[in-house]
Structure 1
Amino acid sequence: MNRRWRRLQARVRHRLRGAMSLRLRLMLGAAGLAALFMLALLPALQGAFSLTFERVIEQRLAADASTLITAAHVEDGRLLMPERMPDEEFNLPDAQLLGFIYDRRGDLVWHSRSAADERIDYRPRYEGRTSEFLRTRDAAGLEYFVYDVELQLAGSRDNAFSFVTMQPTSEYLSLFDEFRRQLYLWLGSGLLVLLILLWLGLTWGFRTLKRVSAELDQVEGGQRQHLSDEHPRELLRLTRSLNRLLDSERRQREQYRNSLGDLAHSLKTPLSVLQGVGETLAAQTQSREQAQVMQAQIERMSQQIGYQLQRASLGKSGLVRHRVELKPLLLSLCSTLDKVYRDKHVQVEMQLAEPCLVPMEQGALMELLGNLLENAYRLCLQQVRISASHHEGDLLLGVEDDGPGVPVGQRERIIRRGERLDGQHPGQGIGLAVVKDILDSYGGELSLAESALGGAALRIRLQAD
């Protein structure tokens, strides 16, 4: 048992000390998700920047086109433009802002000085649309933003013109490249800062696992009996399960010590008898009666050893929670006992809650109920009642009979540990001793009372969760 506990401790400590690798896995997972998120965010930000910047350029070219429209006037069906435009960029030969005016047939009728040397194959045709924003290229492949607004001057269709302003995309492309470099820099820096903060957060969050590991070391060293409850609620079930296992192991060791003492005490008398018979047999080689006595004592000793070892093996696991359905087990036990006590014609009444699951390992529950029902069948006159109900989170089991019952002054005595080793009249004493041991290992309670049937009522309380 101690080896099993040490192996469990070693596995738990190994897993807790593996928190660093768990933290590293969480970090790698978080870093991967953050990188994927930023990679998905990058085109969205670039698209938003491009759309916003193009709208700014469109608004600027629209304002420049308004300047052309304001400066234009028609006389005698001819378009007249001033020598110098109000916007000085139209007047500079090397300026980036270009201005053009086309008639309704798409022929160029005017261009700004800044567009004098440009060879741009753009021929709009008046279609009555208000404005249009697009891109075009010149003969050298240089790309331009184009804003084209169509307007009728003097309210005449003959005086319909397309006022076009252009600007090279090179400035936009250089700004977009600079924005992209800055975006990569800021997103990379943000990812690095995020990972550092995440690492610090995980380091702080995993400190509680180190505290659990330290408390396990203290339990192993005998410096404390239980793990504390000062842990996050996600770990409370683990620590409480380990505490239950500690209590179970402690009770198990106590049972072993008691069982060994009981076994040694139980074997004293049979061994003395065997010793005497052996001496007699040594003197008389032919003695059937002495041989029979020896066999009886050996059988008695075997029964005592079996009982003590069975008692010592009973125990509750601190981590595994068993659930056994009660009714099928009762039906099986009652069927067996009906055959044993068939002359009594015992009537069994069951009052069971539905569903009724007992938080106990099946072998232990069968041993417990087998002893209680065997006592009830043996002592009853004709009637046995079995009940099971839930009360305040606990499971209440009861076995009653219509037999002679137990005197009030004897009820506590017969379930005390020192009263169960009556070898000549084992009956209820040993049976209740086994029941008491099983319930102690599962944190249950056993009590005796008077039954409404007239006999004894044995009541058991178990924690349902």
Structure 2
Amino acid sequence: MLALALGGSWLRNEVHASLYAGMSRTLADKSQRVTARLRLTSDGRVQEAIGSGDEFSAIFSGWYWQLHSATTATTVLARSRSLWDQADLRPVPIATHAILYKATGPQREPLLAQSFPITLRGAAEPMVLQVFGPGDGLFASMTRIDHILLSTCVVILMLLGGLVGLQLRVGLAPLKRLTGVISQLRKGHALAVPAQQLIEQLALSPDLEPLQTELAALVAQNTQVVQRARSHAADLNHALKKPLSLLMAQAGTGTNVAASEVLRQTAALTRMIDRYQARTHSDAVHAALTAGAGQAIDVLACARQMLEMFCQLHRSQEIDWQLHEPESANIPLRWRGDRADLEEILGNLLDNAGKWAASTVRLTILGDEHHRILVRVDDDGPGMTKGQMEAAGERGRRFDEGVAGTGLGLSISQQIAQNYGGVLSLHKSPELKGLQVKVRLDGLVT
């Protein structure tokens, strides 16, 4: 709109200037004709040649001239016969033009005038010839051009407005489809495909693809957080059943329950609650972290601390707890993640290995060129069959009820690894011949 207004104003001024210039040329031609007919008489008066019959001779023709002294502009020395007996004309300057003047004719018609300095033979001083011409046609042309320009600008503005409205309607149509999908999610409507996949399948323009990608990632993250919350609730429910069942069984067999048993089971309940409360806090922290955010932790230091703790817990089993560090152990492996998540993974894997190992548990911590941390736990226990390895990640799945546990350790560790873009896998240990658990986690800080 600003460009259109400026362009229209410039075009208007140029057209007006062109019309004024044409009128100025016409008046200049007329002035030369008039000057050629003027003579200075012996008594010092200015007289027009006899027999000149043109527009300056016809009464009130719209073409007039006046001659006055260059030093005394108010004294008219001579004028055209077309003025007849009317008063002298008084031109006034035009603000938009430096040469032409406006005036009002004998019939109250608009006139345009221009002054020309002339010198007559025998004159003692220079004179100024003012030539007047009809201006109604020029002013009408200017008004018509102004109307045309104004109408054109209005039409162009309406056309641009319509095009912008159409562009917005067409351009925002994908956003309306996106809004419809989000509205279905908010209202809880059942979707045939996952919400993330439905958003990714929408046909959007390249300008909206970043928004589509970020929104799909946000929905996926929120879905993952909800699933983890449900998993924690199910895990806690499963973990609390055994201590409560034992207390209820002992209470049902007699009137009294041993205080030591009550303390032991309530301590187990407290540990379970604290554990899952910490896991819930870890999930909240993990959901809040963005890529590249958060404080990096020393993986080797955390692994040494966890290994020392399990040496104390399984002291009666006489297990050889080994930590294999990379050759450049003096350079710390720093991982950008939550320390509680790393301790949860190490704790679950080492606890399982300590329960089944015959004499040796080996923990290996490595980093690779893909900015990932590799955690590997090997033991020399009985290991697992292929079918057991495939089913080991199922929540609450246990293969030997004679060994203490809830069957949730591997499931929780696998879930944590997936949240960090990693993976948990089970293999047969090539060296210790027992079970080998590998966990890869993204986020190695170089």
Q: Does 1:387 align with 2:379?
A: no
Aligned residue in 1 for 2:260? 292
* Structure 2 Cα separation of the partners of residues 425 and 335 of structure 1: 25
Q: How does 1:54-65 map to 2 (within 5 A)?
A: 54-65=20-31
TM-score (ref. length: structure 1): 0.62
Aligned residue in 2 for 1:396? 372
The CA deviation at 1:369 is 1.7
Q: How does 1:277-356 map to 2 (within 5 A)?
A: 277-282=250-255, 285=256, 290-304=258-272, 307=275, 322-323=290-291, 324-328=293-297, 333=302, 349=329
* Structure 2 Cα separation of the partners of residues 264 and 328 of structure 1: 31
Residue identity matched to 1:115: L
* Structure 2 Cα separation of the partners of residues 235 and 254 of structure 1: 28
Residue identity matched to 1:119: D
Report Cα offsets for 1:44-68 as digits up to 9, x if no partner.
5554444333222212211222333
Q: Does 1:149 align with 2:125?
A: no
Q: Does 1:83 align with 2:50?
A: yes
Aligned residue in 2 for 1:68? 34
Q: Does 1:445 align with 2:413?
A: no
Residue identity matched to 2:164: L
* Structure 1 Cα separation of the partners of residues 138 and 7 of structure 2: 21
* Structure 2 Cα separation of the partners of residues 443 and 381 of structure 1: 26
Task: Check conservation: 1:406, 1:456, Cα contact below 8 A.
Answer: no
TM-score (ref. length: structure 2): 0.64
SS at match of 2:50: coil
The CA deviation at 1:139 is 11
Compared CA separation, residues 317 and 185, structure 1 to 2 (3 A) = farther
Structure 1, unaligned runs of 5 or more = 1-33, 123-131
Compared CA separation, residues 342 and 62, structure 1 to 2 (3 A) = farther
Q: Does 1:196 align with 2:196?
A: no
Residue identity matched to 1:398: L
Aligned residue in 2 for 1:436? 414
The CA deviation at 1:230 is 0.9
* Structure 1 Cα separation of the partners of residues 311 and 123 of structure 2: 121
Task: Check conservation: 2:361, 2:380, Cα contact below 8 A.
Answer: no
* Structure 1 Cα separation of the partners of residues 104 and 234 of structure 2: 108
Q: How does 1:66-465 map to 2 (within 5 A)?
A: 66-71=32-37, 81-85=48-52, 88-101=54-67, 110-116=78-84, 117-120=86-89, 133-135=99-101, 144-152=111-119, 162-167=128-133, 169=135, 172-216=138-182, 220-225=188-193, 226-227=198-199, 228-248=201-221, 250-251=223-224, 255=228, 262-263=235-236, 265-267=238-240, 269-282=242-255, 285=256, 290-304=258-272, 307=275, 322-323=290-291, 324-328=293-297, 333=302, 349=329, 358=336, 365-372=338-345, 385=365, 387=367, 391=370, 395-399=371-375, 413=389, 416-418=392-394, 424=403, 432-447=410-425, 458-462=438-442
* Structure 1 Cα separation of the partners of residues 395 and 154 of structure 2: 78
Deviates more, 1:214-223 or 1:198-207: 214-223
Compared CA separation, residues 313 and 202, structure 1 to 2 (3 A) = same
Task: Check conservation: 2:389, 2:426, Cα contact below 8 A.
Answer: no
Task: Check conservation: 1:445, 1:462, Cα contact below 8 A.
Answer: no
Task: Check conservation: 1:415, 1:436, Cα contact below 8 A.
Answer: no
Compared CA separation, residues 320 and 48, structure 1 to 2 (3 A) = farther
* Structure 2 Cα separation of the partners of residues 238 and 332 of structure 1: 40
The CA deviation at 1:437 is 1.0
* Structure 2 Cα separation of the partners of residues 338 and 276 of structure 1: 36
Task: Check conservation: 1:248, 1:315, Cα contact below 8 A.
Answer: no
The CA deviation at 1:372 is 4.5
* Structure 2 Cα separation of the partners of residues 435 and 376 of structure 1: 11
Compared CA separation, residues 224 and 68, structure 1 to 2 (3 A) = farther
Task: Check conservation: 1:102, 1:162, Cα contact below 8 A.
Answer: yes
Compared CA separation, residues 202 and 416, structure 1 to 2 (3 A) = same
Task: Check conservation: 2:322, 2:362, Cα contact below 8 A.
Answer: yes
When the two chains are superposed, the root-mean-square deviation of aligned CA atoms in Å is: 5.4
The CA deviation at 1:115 is 3.3
Sequence identity percentage: 15
SS at match of 2:59: coil
* Structure 2 Cα separation of the partners of residues 121 and 262 of structure 1: 104
* Structure 2 Cα separation of the partners of residues 347 and 443 of structure 1: 24
Aligned residue in 2 for 1:19? none
* Structure 2 Cα separation of the partners of residues 450 and 157 of structure 1: 127
The CA deviation at 1:258 is 5.4
The CA deviation at 1:120 is 2.9
Aligned residues: 401
Task: Check conservation: 1:102, 1:108, Cα contact below 8 A.
Answer: yes
The CA deviation at 1:194 is 3.2
Residue identity matched to 1:396: R
Residue identity matched to 1:327: A
Task: Check conservation: 1:420, 1:426, Cα contact below 8 A.
Answer: no
More helix by share: 1
Report Cα offsets for 1:391-418 as digits up to 9, x if no partner.
3xxx4223468x8689997899399414
* Structure 2 Cα separation of the partners of residues 373 and 40 of structure 1: 72
* Structure 2 Cα separation of the partners of residues 70 and 406 of structure 1: 129
